[in-house]
């Protein structure tokens, strides 16, 4: 079984992207809506194929995601990984990559889904255990089937940064596991049913 070609989407610092790259995953494309972010800088530095999809370049989120999915299909990615992408993906993406798109979220879903402040919210609620989750992306935000999930205890004196740091250490462990699991489930099949037009 060959390795999957990954399309990684990120708007942030890109620690999950770096982790996948350093573990030898084949990152065929990095998509971002924030050309100035750490993930984009890393992609440029490593000579990875980088696609910039800033919302202001498109009349709607639908148009943006049509462009994004056409690009990813053209590159020929097998699995799309949302690793800190801060836009909700619309139908052109969820349809083109149904069953082949993962998201990593820094909480024990279904708790604290739907937003980029899951760690702050968990602390505010005073939960004693939180964690991170990798799930398949569907149209329902942060609610697709869970592939891998791990608990992280909240320790006395934790602030957002300290807790996030421990959660991210787990993210860097479970995201590769989830990719391997999904790829095995797909039978290592590169076949993508292309329902969108490739331009």
Q: Is 135 a catalytic residue?
A: no
Nearer to ligand GRF, 45 or 197 (CB): 45
What's the rounded Cα separation, in Å, for the pair 123 and 83?
Answer: 22
Contacts 24+ apart (CB under 8 A), 21-30: 21/46, 21/48, 23/176, 25/176, 25/179, 28/75, 28/76, 28/77, 29/5, 29/71, 29/72, 29/75, 29/77
Using the contact rule CB under 6 A, the part of the chain among 20-28, 60-68, 98-106, 123-131 near ligand GRF is: 98-106
- In the shown chain, the binding pattern of residues 99 to 138 toward ligand GRF, with x for contact by CB under 6 A and - for none, equals -----xxx-------------------------x------
Nearer to ligand GRF, 60 or 177 (CB): 177
Burial, 191: exposed, middle or buried (Cβ in 10 Å; 0-12, 13-18, 19+)? exposed
Taking CB under 6 A as the criterion, which residues in 8-67 touch ligand GRF? 10, 12-16
Using the contact rule CB under 6 A, the part of the chain among 6-14, 59-67, 138-146, 154-162 near ligand GRF is: 6-14
Give me the residues that bind ligand GRF (CB under 6 A), please.
10, 12-16, 83-84, 104-106, 132, 168, 171
């Amino acid at each position: 079984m060959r390795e999957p070609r990954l399309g990684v989407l990120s708007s942030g610092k890109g620690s999950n992207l770096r982790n996948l790259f350093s573990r030898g995953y084949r990152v065929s494309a990095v998509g971002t809506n924030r050309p100035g972010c750490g993930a984009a800088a890393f992609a440029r530095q490593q000579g990875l194929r980088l696609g910039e999809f800033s919302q202001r370049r498109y009349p709607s989120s639908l148009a943006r995601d049509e462009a994004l999915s056409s690009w990813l299909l053209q590159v020929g990615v097998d699995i799309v990984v949302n690793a800190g992408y801060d836009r909700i993906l619309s139908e052109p993406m969820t349809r083109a990559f149904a069953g082949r798109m993962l998201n990593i979220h820094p909480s024990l879903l279904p708790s604290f889904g739907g937003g980029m402040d899951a760690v702050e919210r968990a602390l505010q609620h005073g939960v004693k255990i939180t964690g991170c989750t990798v799930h398949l992306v569907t149209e329902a935000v942060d609610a697709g089937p869970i592939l891998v999930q791990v608990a992280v205890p909240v320790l006395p004196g934790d602030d957002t940064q300290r807790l996030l740091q421990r959660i991210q250490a787990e993210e860097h462990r479970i995201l590769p596991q989830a990719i391997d699991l999904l790829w095995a489930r797909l039978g290592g099949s590169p076949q993508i049913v292309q329902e969108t037009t490739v331009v």
